Amino acid sequence: MSAPETAGARQRAGGLTPVVVAVVVTIAVLVWLLVDTSVLYLGYLGNPIAMAAGVFACQRIAREVRLSRPVRAFWRRLEHAGVCLLVGAVVALLRANNNTGLSPYVGVPFLIGLVLLISAFLMLPGPKRTAVGWIRALLDGATVAVASGLIFWYAVLDLAPEGTSMVGRIAAAVIGMGGILLLVVIGKAAARRESMVAPGALRVLAAAPIAAITGNMLLIAGDDWSRLALSVLAVPLIGVSFCVGALIQRRALSAGQPQESALSHRSLLNLLPFLAVTATAGLVITVSAQEMTSRQRTVIIGAVLIAGFVVARQLLSLRENTMALKGIQRQQAELERMALSDSLTGLPNRARFGAALAERISAHQPATAMLIDVDDFKMINDTLGPAAGDQLLYQVSQRLRERCEAGEMPARLGGDEFAVLLPVDEAEPAEAAAARLLLALADPFRVGDQMLLLHASAGIAPADTGESADEVLRNADIAMYAAKESGKASWVRFEPRMRQDMVNHARLASELQNGIIRGELRLLYQPVFDLVTGRLHGAEALVRWQHPTRGFVSPGEFIPVAERSGLIVPLGAWVLREACTQLARWRSSFGAGAIEAINVNVAVRQLREAGFVDEVAAVLSDTGLVPANLILEVTESSVIDGWQVRETLQALHEMGVRLALDDFGTGQSSLSLLRAFPVDVLKLDKSFVDGIADGEDRGRLAVAAAVAQLAEHLQLKAVAEGIESQEQVDRLRDMGYRYGQGFFMAKPLPADECGALMAADPVRAA
Ligand code: C2E
Ligand code: MG
Ligand code: MG
């Protein structure tokens, strides 16, 4: 056994020893009572021993630092009450041979003990009472006190043995009343749902007042033997209840406080005042039967009947209240359930997910949050309608539910955002789970009569030490955005540097927004040349941002930020209009000398906007251009983005706008893509052009050649990008490239310099 285990065992034994002592003593006293009572003080000896064990147990638990301060204070007060009872027990032992039943020397310490006991329960912290609550509690207490007082007073007056002194009678009556009051107080404390002392302990402690009440009854009304039985058994029983109560409190400490409904105890408890009234009525009837005239008796019977009716009526409304309370509790439970789950999918919602994650974190259990976002869900919702969107989300939730393994908790955080709580903290199993769940979402979904192919991106963040559930979720969110950025249908594991990137991007995005408003953007035009004739053929519009303090910001830096923040939509709209306006100007200035078409880059985010086709048409008609004057450059990744984007591209093609596949060869270039798409131009990526001149990189060389052949077969225009030398020009031309652009021929130029090239073109000018 290890050291902490031994300590734990010792602690448990420490709780058990007083219980054993008190119980053994009580049994011994019982045996003494039943077998031979001739040596009186032997019987009385049990009282102080059992009570000392009780005091010891209370003292031990009161020193338990793991308990809250009010609970410790409660056990300390109990200990003090126990000391008073112990004093009374010692006095009783000393006077054992002088047995006159009731003695003030015994009664007074007992009474003080009782008052301390009541105060211990009364001072337990509970919910704040309202004024009405206080009045109700006082009324209940007063009813019980008056009734028990009357009964005891009558019993003491009538039934006590002849020689009982006045002080003794009063003490007996007060102890009896106090016992009943204590019972009420303990009951109320135990019935409190948020009771801080272990409820089991409170219930066991109720044995003390029950012993006091029955004891008093026996003391007053019983025969000699029962009076003796009480004198020697009541205190040991109280001692046992202290010891067992302390033990239960200790056990509750190591098990964690259980939450139990207190409603049933509460309704029983509410009956106590009525019991008191009924008992008093019984007393009145008994007394009146013995001592009154028939007229007086009639009045009394009438009064008792009326009291009975009032009690019955009260009981009825009490029952109604209890039923209403139960209904409210049921509703509350239902509301709680609803508040913690998502109404569409039935999965746990964000609140529930956050709570479960926080729970694992605080229990130091391994946990990883995985955030899954359905790419382009908004588009589906916009085009197919919210009902289809809901259906899709429901099916996604079903798949997640089916493919989650034991211990994993899927949840819907809202919109198209799902999450899974994984019970692991290592990278490998978390990534395996991500792969498994994303794969589950890769199969087509049937919505109505449509089959939809979804892509989802996932971010994985382990719960690292010291991070809250919110922070872990935020990390997963950041990782998910990184996954979206890295190309879709993938997962990314969170790394701390991503957080800084995120902050930088957010800052850049807000500055870019201002930049667009303040007109800090402008366009440059990179000429595209005919490699055979050497003449100007076209131009690509490239956006530039001149930031007032940062200076020149490269599009490679701000375009991705614009895409992520959605700013690309207004930015792209401005670029499109500006580029078309410029072409219209050139065409009116240089006529046939001007280029025929302008190339404009379009981000996938723009293509996903429902009104994009209309916007293009409007710009063309506003600037007086025809669709043949415009070439939109899109990347391969946007072409595979989804059927919505494909439809947009198809509509543009049908309008007569030409489409160029930009950076061709770098993405997931597939031949079927080219066949399925209305593509007009292939732009070979610069990286392949780079590899051409040195002739070292045979792979790239082969790709460059293949793309040229492919373009020829499919009757597409092939344009080589990023040409930086004459040698590259020669080889590309030999391969079959008719057009090219690059710093070797011209860098991106301001509009007037580009216009000057058009004016200088002899053939066009003629
Ligand atoms: P892209 O569409 O592939 O544009 C070609 C890029 O290659 C341009 O960079 C151009 O300046 C650069 N380039 C051309 N010839 C050479 C060369 O010989 N050597 C080298 N080293 N580079 C050359 P830029 O202007 O920095 O643009 C980068 C990317 O930003 C563009 O790649 C495009 O994807 C994006 N972009 C630029 N303007 C826009 C815009 O208005 N809208 C959208 N959506 N994206 C834009
Ligand atoms: Mg381009
Ligand atoms: Mg390019």
Any idea of the CA torsion for 643, 648, 654, 655, to the nearest 10 degrees? 180
Low-confidence ranges of the chain (pLDDT < 70): 1-14, 97-104, 125-129, 155-165, 167-169, 171-172, 175, 187-195, 208, 211-212, 214-223, 255-273, 287, 290-292, 487-489, 640-642, 667-670, 672, 694-695, 762-766
> What is residue 764's predicted lDDT score, i.e. its pLDDT?
56
The ligand placed nearest to the CA atom of residue 575 is: 1
Sign of the four-CA dihedral 179, 184, 190, 194: negative
The residues placing their C-beta within 5 Å of ligand 3, an ion, are 662-663, 721
Q: 489 and 442 in contact (C-beta within 8 Å)?
A: yes
> What is residue 216's predicted lDDT score, i.e. its pLDDT?
66
Question: Ligand 1 pocket: which residues have CB below 6 Å?
Answer: 526, 542-543, 554-556, 559, 572, 575, 601-603, 633, 662-663, 721-724, 741-743, 748
**What tokens does 224 get?**
């000699």
Distance 692 CA to ligand 3 centre (A): 17
Distance 623 CA to ligand 1 centre (A): 24
The pTM of this model reads: 0.54
Residue minimizing CA distance to atom 7 of ligand 1: 722
Distance 635 CA to ligand 3 centre (A): 8
684: left (phi over 0), alpha (psi -120 to 50) or beta: beta
Atom of ligand 1 nearest to the CA of 683: 3
Atom of ligand 1 nearest to the CA of 603: 44
Distance 425 CA to ligand 2 centre (A): 43
Residue minimizing CA distance to atom 46 of ligand 1: 601
Residue minimizing CA distance to atom 22 of ligand 1: 722
> What is residue 14's predicted lDDT score, i.e. its pLDDT?
57
Domain spanning 3-257, CATH architecture: Up-down Bundle (1.20)
Q: 555 and 542 in contact (C-beta within 8 Å)?
A: yes
Atom of ligand 1 nearest to the CA of 542: 38
Distance 376 CA to ligand 2 centre (A): 23
Atom of ligand 1 nearest to the CA of 748: 11
Give the Cα separation of 113 and 124 in Å (integer): 17
Residue minimizing CA distance to atom 10 of ligand 1: 748
> What is residue 9's predicted lDDT score, i.e. its pLDDT?
45
Residue minimizing CA distance to atom 25 of ligand 1: 542
Residue minimizing CA distance to atom 8 of ligand 1: 542
Q: Do domains 3-257 and 526-542+562-759 have the same CATH topology?
A: no
Residue minimizing CA distance to atom 34 of ligand 1: 601
> What is residue 10's predicted lDDT score, i.e. its pLDDT?
47
> What is residue 659's predicted lDDT score, i.e. its pLDDT?
95
The ligand placed nearest to the CA atom of residue 659 is: 2
> What is residue 323's predicted lDDT score, i.e. its pLDDT?
87
Question: Which residues lie below 8 Å from residue 42, measured CB to CB, with a gap of 6+?
Answer: 32
Give the Cα separation of 87 and 52 in Å (integer): 10
Would you kindly state where each structural domain of the chain is located, as residue ranges? 3-257, 350-494, 526-542+562-759
φ, ψ at 603 (rounded to 5°): -85, 155
> What is residue 528's predicted lDDT score, i.e. its pLDDT?
97
> What is residue 608's predicted lDDT score, i.e. its pLDDT?
87
Q: Which CATH class is domain 350-494?
A: alpha beta
| Helical H segments across 519-642, by residue range | 555-565, 568-590, 604-607, 612-623, 636-639
Which of 578, 601, 607, 754 maximizes ligand 1 atoms within 8 Å of its Cβ, making it the mutation to test the pocket?
601
Which of 521, 529, 542, 564 maximizes ligand 1 atoms within 8 Å of its Cβ, making it the mutation to test the pocket?
542
Tell the CATH superfamily of the 526-542+562-759 domain. EAL domain (3.20.20.450)
Give the Cα separation of 89 and 437 in Å (integer): 72
Which of 516, 545, 559, 606 maximizes ligand 1 atoms within 8 Å of its Cβ, making it the mutation to test the pocket?
559
* Residue 644 CA from chain centroid, whole number: 35
Residue minimizing CA distance to atom 33 of ligand 1: 601
Q: What is the DSSP letter of 348?
A: B
Q: 236 and 46 in contact (C-beta within 8 Å)?
A: yes
Q: Which DSSP string do the residues of 480-544 spell out, in sequence order?
A: HHHHHHT-SS-EEE--HHHHHHHHHHHHHHHHHHHHHHHT-EEEEEEEEEETTT--EEEEEEEEE
Atom of ligand 1 nearest to the CA of 579: 41
